[in-house]
Structure 1
Amino acid sequence: MTVVTLDVMTTTMLASLLLMLGIGLQRMVPLFNQLCVPAPVLGGFGFALFALGARSFAGVEFKFDMALQTPLMIAFFATVGLGGSLALLKKGGKALGVYLVACWGLALLQNGLGISVATLLGEHPLLGLMAGAVSLEGGFGAAAAFGPEAEALGVIGATTAALAAATFGMVAGGLLGAPVARLLISRHKIEIHAEQVHELEVLQQSERPTHATITGALLLKVVSVVLCTMVAGLWLSANMREHLDIILPSYVGAMFIAIILRNINEQFSLVTIPDNAINVISDLCLGIFLTMAMMGLQLWQLADLGWSLLIILVLQTVAIVLLAIFVMFRLLGHNYDAAVLCAGFVGHGLGATPNAVANMGAVCDRYKVFSHKAFIVAPLCGAVLIDIVAIPAITWCLNVFG
């Protein structure tokens, strides 16, 4: 086997080029936009397939220096935390509360189902966790972050399995959400009429992202805040492991610190951090970090996990569809808005928030009635608020089953 080793600079250069390739493919292939497949997945997974072919047919294997992957990952989760406003929980009202609690419950259900089925199939429980909320409700970011933690606890191929599960969920969530809503509307003969949601619209206006002109000085300030949360998160994680014997991944610690900082800042206005500046840093860090994770996938490791992983994912998909049809639809009001929200629920419960938005858009385009409630509630919950419970739940499972 011939090994091609890439140093840290070459690895980062390749990741950047693959990310640009993924962005180009998004623009050129409409199907990728319809399924909301992220650019890092297109570029990085494409290289992983190339690496699999090179290993299988030419005896060439690639080795990467991923030294920058962990800092980029921690920075991304810090930016996620900086968007976690707990004040939304008080302002959102019943619709937001019901939907958010359901999303939290889904994270627990996905973890429990994945761990249980993996154990019954004779696999490591953490493999089931990787095919649970880590990869489904958590998406590619959480899959790439928690996979190495599971591998460190002895689950061979956990990162590959988690990212493969996230890919499955992204496609399934994009394909099933709108049909579920159409089934509910036709089965229950729902009147095609959207509710008035003045309170939620006021909330959306009050929480509209802040914008400022991007300058070097502004980026320096935001990067400094992100770096402070990263260092504090590293300190918190190290002390939790050393003194309490609790596994708290460094990126989770950074996210918690960032959430605390965000909510203290809302009360005392200590520093102005425009949302568009945070988004620039978040998009860049996530793009390169996730591309690195995808291009480093060792797809041949899936051979031993294939059937077990597929069985878990199929059961997870059936579970969320049944939950949307028989539980969520009734809890959300048994009306048109509820059906549209169910499409979003399936979208980001299996994939990500862009899946949810695309699903809901497809339903509204089909019936020519826009659901303001759905397009306010689903993105607010799916973007950050889900992680307030989902990430701690995953961390708890790592400690218990690892």
Structure 2
Amino acid sequence: MEWEFNSYYTLIAATVVLLVGKLMVNRIKFLQNFNIPEPVAGGLLAAVILFGLHYFYGASFKFEKPLQDAFMLMFFTSIGLSADFSRLRAGGMPLIIFLILVSVFIVVQNGIGVGMATAMGLDPLIGLMTGSVTLTGGHGTAGAWGSVFENQYGVTGATGLGMAAATFGLVVGGLIGGPVARRLVNKMHRPRLDVGGARATHADGGEIIDDPFEVRDQPRLITASSAIETLAMFAVCLSFAEIMNTYVGVLPKFVWALGAGVILRNVLVLVFKFNMFDRAIDVFGNASLSLFLAMALLNLKLWELSGLAGPVVAILAVQTLVMALFAYFITFRVMGKNYDAAVLSAGHCGFGMGATPTAVANMQSVTEHFGPSHKAFLIVPMVGAFFIDLVNVAILKIFISILH
């Protein structure tokens, strides 16, 4: 028995998940202490409930996947529309260092996957599917490389395995980032902020400073006209991404959407002197992020994950441990051993195991309790959403050429 939810009911279900997640985080001290993002908390509860219904009654659930993808594209578009060239220049050397650091971890991730798969008698390409293809790459990369591995290299079930591993990474990335950062921050004896304190950091006399994504629940002063202008820019970027994905390909669609946002923003600001309304972009971006994560976890079929072979589960468990240790001992130290470095470590856990939306949610859960980190929110979205996909493809091709 399969229950199919159209776009309207999928949207309703996602909003319920977010409301329940917010209630859980507000009421359960454990979730607060470990900085678990609200979409992850509510989404995991929903996934467990759906698993119980499937286990006891044989029911399965299908939610509207294109709607989930649309919110993901809107989130990446919002990153692009928020990234003017002055902010990119401000990233400077720390952005380059972080990109190198993340690239090194991709090599480590694939080395673990290939090494463990070979040791257990599996095709080494399965090691790549449980490495950066799915964990750093996410669902989109998993689907693309899965078909390549099946059609060109004869790896049976590579796409299904990739989807399961990417889903595992999405969940785990949201679970380990907050605790890693919390432990690092607590060692600095940095005090927690109350709700008013977090907002006071960004507000002065009611005027909100535009720091996209840093304080998700901060009030934004927007108008109907600014919202319409912002939606028009989103529409342009999403249309451009659709056209480029259809006729050019090469890069994932979300990269085209992000790139279109960067180009559109800077052309409007530098050439036409347009007054970009970052608050509206911020609102749409954060809402899209939360809805994407909620829908992704609603589509998490735990009964499929439970059917993963033991060796694959072992590889993913080791990958999780290595990610947490790498972020804690290496990312934190290399990036400066300060509060910004701790928030960067949470972000690294997010897209190193899952996706950039998870990284941003991880960082939000930390900064809401301990204060803003402009440096982390400048670096992580650009590295995780744009540069890392290009690096990942290059490293994967090197590994494949060595293995075959």
Aligned letter for 1:88? R
Task: In structure 2, list runs of 5 or more residues that go unmatched.
Answer: 118-125, 149-157, 190-208, 213-218, 351-358
Task: In structure 1, list runs of 5 or more residues that go unmatched.
Answer: 135-142, 187-206, 333-337, 365-369
In 1, the alpha carbon distance for the partners of 2:186 and 2:326 equals: 18
Answering whether residue 169 of structure 2 is matched by residue 170 of structure 1, we say no
Aligned letter for 1:259? V
Residues 117, 212 of structure 1: alpha-carbon distance in 2 compared, 3 angstrom cutoff: closer
In 1, the alpha carbon distance for the partners of 2:257 and 2:61 equals: 31
Aligned to 1:250: 253
Query: Could you report, residue by residue, the CA deviation over 1:184-215 in whole angstroms, capped at 9, with x for unpaired residues?
Result: x79xxxxxxxxxxxxxxxxxxxx844998423
| Pairwise CA distance, 1:128 | 0.6
Aligned to 1:236: 244
Aligned to 1:4: 3
In 2, the alpha carbon distance for the partners of 1:215 and 1:315 equals: 46
Aligned to 1:308: 315
Residues 5, 237 of structure 1: alpha-carbon distance in 2 compared, 3 angstrom cutoff: closer
Alignment partner of 1:318 out of 298, 321, 325: 325
Give the TM-score normalised by the residue count of structure 2. 0.74
Query: Could you report, residue by residue, the CA deviation over 1:44-91 in whole angstroms, capped at 9, with x for unpaired residues?
Result: 22221112222222222122332322222222211111112232243x
Aligned to 1:45: 44
Equivalent residues of 2:17, 2:42 under 8 A apart? yes
| Match runs of 1:74-89 below 5 Å | 74-89=73-88
After superposition, the CA RMSD in angstroms is: 3.4
Equivalent residues of 2:37, 2:361 under 8 A apart? no
Query: Could you report, residue by residue, the CA deviation over 1:14-37 in whole angstroms, capped at 9, with x for unpaired residues?
Result: 222222222222222233233332
Aligned letter for 1:308? I
Aligned to 2:104: 109
Aligned letter for 1:20? L
Alignment partner of 2:334 out of 328, 336, 347: 328
Aligned to 1:380: 378
| Pairwise CA distance, 1:118 | 1.6
Identity of aligned residues (%): 19
3-state DSSP of counterpart to 2:160: coil
Residues 376, 60 of structure 1: alpha-carbon distance in 2 compared, 3 angstrom cutoff: closer
Residues 159, 85 of structure 1: alpha-carbon distance in 2 compared, 3 angstrom cutoff: farther
Aligned to 2:199: none
3-state DSSP of counterpart to 2:286: helix
Equivalent residues of 1:157, 1:302 under 8 A apart? no
| Match runs of 1:85-104 below 5 Å | 85-90=84-89, 92=90, 96-104=91-99
Aligned to 1:390: 388
Give the TM-score normalised by the residue count of structure 1. 0.74
In 1, the alpha carbon distance for the partners of 2:293 and 2:28 equals: 21
Aligned letter for 2:179? L
In 2, the alpha carbon distance for the partners of 1:376 and 1:63 equals: 38
Residues 398, 159 of structure 1: alpha-carbon distance in 2 compared, 3 angstrom cutoff: farther
Aligned to 1:204: none
Aligned to 1:224: 232
Equivalent residues of 1:34, 1:358 under 8 A apart? no
In 1, the alpha carbon distance for the partners of 2:74 and 2:231 equals: 9
Residues 46, 344 of structure 1: alpha-carbon distance in 2 compared, 3 angstrom cutoff: same
Aligned letter for 1:323? I
Residues 361, 287 of structure 1: alpha-carbon distance in 2 compared, 3 angstrom cutoff: closer
Residues 397, 221 of structure 1: alpha-carbon distance in 2 compared, 3 angstrom cutoff: farther
In 1, the alpha carbon distance for the partners of 2:399 and 2:12 equals: 37
In 1, the alpha carbon distance for the partners of 2:129 and 2:84 equals: 30
Residues 217, 345 of structure 1: alpha-carbon distance in 2 compared, 3 angstrom cutoff: closer
| Pairwise CA distance, 1:232 | 0.8
Residues 300, 376 of structure 1: alpha-carbon distance in 2 compared, 3 angstrom cutoff: same
3-state DSSP of counterpart to 2:65: coil
| Pairwise CA distance, 1:385 | 5.4
Equivalent residues of 2:142, 2:166 under 8 A apart? yes
Identify which range, 222-231 or 278-287, moves more after superposition.
278-287
Aligned to 2:201: none
